[in-house]
Structure 1
Amino acid sequence: MRLVEYADRDMLAIDVANVLAGALETALLHHETVSFAVPGGTTPGPVFDALCAANLEWDRVHVLPTDERCVDEGDDRSNAKLIKERLLTNRASSAVFLPLFGGGTPEQNLAETETMLAPHFPLSVLLLGMGNDMHTASLFPGMEGLDAALASDAPVLTVARPETQPEARVSLTGSVLDGALSKHLVIFGPEKRDALDRAMTMPPEEAPISAVLNNTNVYWAE
């Protein structure tokens, strides 16, 4: 893990956008298409606002969520909505979006979605967020099925029903996230910094973020 600290969040957003653009550009030099997994939530929005203007061959970039709430795409809690509004705009509007959830029950199209995603692994570039509880994507501490989702032989996707959340979710599993070729984590505030410090001494079953910290670039601002 490599930790980079910033004086403010605006500076972090601009710098991380440049880092991600560089990682994508490098990947595009070696592959016809590249995969870019990104989180939802409030943290990545400013990064997306800067990254969407990057001068890349976005039509060769396949963007997917690290996880998705099982809600309609028009719902404000939808990660797809945030990604499309904040990232897949400007120059990045030509990127290809790969959804994790298309309606119905979470399990209904899981196998079909896994088949659709399979050609895009390993992930070329991964951007993650982390909660104060040390969850990442939708891998929550203590949730049913976490051990299976963190196993080395886990499938591509898992259905998460954490008791702390109002809806079911579909999430990339630990091995898929950890297998990304270029890994990046953005966190803000003292609580998440403390959570990161704790996670480094805890097993993934208690701190799921620890399953993906090896060789990850972490960016923090107050």
Structure 2
Amino acid sequence: MSKHVEVLSSSSALVDRTLQIVVEEIHRALEQRDRATVVLSGGNTPKPLYEALAQEDLPWSKIYVFWGDERYVPADDPASNQRMARQTWLDNVPIPAENVRPMMTDGDSPEADAQRYEAQLREFFGLEPGDFPVFDVMLLGMGDDGHTASLFPQTDALQVCDRAVTVGNKDGQPRLTLTVPVLNLSRCVIFMVAGANKQTALSHVFAPDGDEDAYPSRLVQPLNGTLWWLLDPEAGSSISVTDRRG
């Protein structure tokens, strides 16, 4: 694993740097495999990134978009990660409808819809039993409790290692989420973290030793990929790193 931690000089610099890496990784995937698979995160932090991606001139027919997690709400719900990404990015570029692969939240149960999304991933990637999908770009955020995707502290989803998709739990509310093995098989993982409220969690995530169940972002250690931690100045002010960028 190749790991990089950068503290950017401003929120806009954080967006610009993340955009640069995402576009580079998309082009790398296109050169090597003639398609690029990108997994999106939710929350407010990536919204300006998605707006910036909407301005890029990319070969959209070769780019496939997935989600790392989703609240179990209808696709048009204001809380939906899919809705946010469509409004800010995907509805504003000529990407084919079949290239956009949101998590299902319209079935009878979260468990059944997790299985449906897993089946879709297995078909798309042509997976054999026991194999996991390998994504080119995995965009992640981190909550002030150290969670990422919908892998929350002290929840059962952290222990799931035999499936690609499972059901997470946030205060009793179900969410669909990719599992830890899938995150760690990605070719490029990018954490985009903003806000002073993330400092405590970051200190635990970056500590030499710590509790992965308490701070699940510690579990993200790509086996053969590149891991980027991109922080705005508020999140990274107490982090000791040598790479601080404007």
Matched residue of 1:169: which SS?
Answer: strand
- Quick one: structure 1 residues 107 and 53, their matched pair in 2 at CA, closer, same or farther if it must change by over 3 Å? same
* 2:201 maps to 1:195: yes
Matched residue of 2:37: which SS?
Answer: strand
Range with greater deviation from structure 2 (206-215 or 154-163)? 206-215
What are the superposed Cα offsets for residues 34-55 of structure 1, whole Å, 9 maximum, x if unpaired? Answer: 2100101101001111112222
Matched residue of 2:159: which SS?
Answer: helix
State the 1:213 CA deviation.
4.3
Is the 8 Å Cα contact of residues 187 and 193 (structure 1) preserved in structure 2? no
Distance 1:81 1:92 in 2: 17
- Quick one: structure 1 residues 185 and 138, their matched pair in 2 at CA, closer, same or farther if it must change by over 3 Å? same
Indicate the residue corresponding to 2:215 in structure 1: 207
Indicate the residue corresponding to 1:112 in structure 2: 116
Is the 8 Å Cα contact of residues 88 and 94 (structure 1) preserved in structure 2? no
RMSD value over aligned CA atoms?
Answer: 1.7
Q: Which amino acid aligns with 1:148?
A: Q
* 2:83 maps to 1:81: yes
Range with greater deviation from structure 2 (19-28 or 105-114)? 105-114
User: Following superposition of structure 1 onto structure 2, how do residues 15-94 of structure 1 map, counting pairs within 5 Å?
Assistant: 15-91=17-93, 93-94=95-96
Post-superposition, which runs of at least 4 consecutive aligned residues in structure 1 deviate over 4 A? none
* 2:221 maps to 1:220: no
State the 1:63 CA deviation.
0.6
What are the superposed Cα offsets for residues 174-219 of structure 1, whole Å, 9 maximum, x if unpaired? Answer: 0101110011101112221331121223232121101114541111
Distance 1:50 1:187 in 2: 17
Indicate the residue corresponding to 2:239 in structure 1: none
- Quick one: structure 1 residues 73 and 21, their matched pair in 2 at CA, closer, same or farther if it must change by over 3 Å? same
In the comparison of the two structures, how many residue pairs are matched? 216
Distance 1:147 1:186 in 2: 21
Distance 1:159 1:219 in 2: 27
Matched residue of 2:73: which SS?
Answer: coil
* 2:134 maps to 1:132: no
State the 1:92 CA deviation.
5.6
**What are the ranges of 5 or more consecutive residues in structure 1 without an aligned counterpart?**
none
- Quick one: structure 1 residues 25 and 89, their matched pair in 2 at CA, closer, same or farther if it must change by over 3 Å? farther
- Quick one: structure 1 residues 92 and 53, their matched pair in 2 at CA, closer, same or farther if it must change by over 3 Å? farther
Indicate the residue corresponding to 1:185 in structure 2: 191
Distance 2:32 2:86 in 1: 26
Indicate the residue corresponding to 2:241 in structure 1: none
Aligned with 2:105 (options 98, 102, 105): 102
Distance 1:199 1:64 in 2: 26
Range with greater deviation from structure 2 (28-37 or 125-134)? 28-37
Aligned with 2:10 (options 8, 11, 14): 8
Instruction: Give TM-score scaled by structure 2 length.
Output: 0.82
Instruction: Give TM-score scaled by structure 1 length.
Output: 0.90
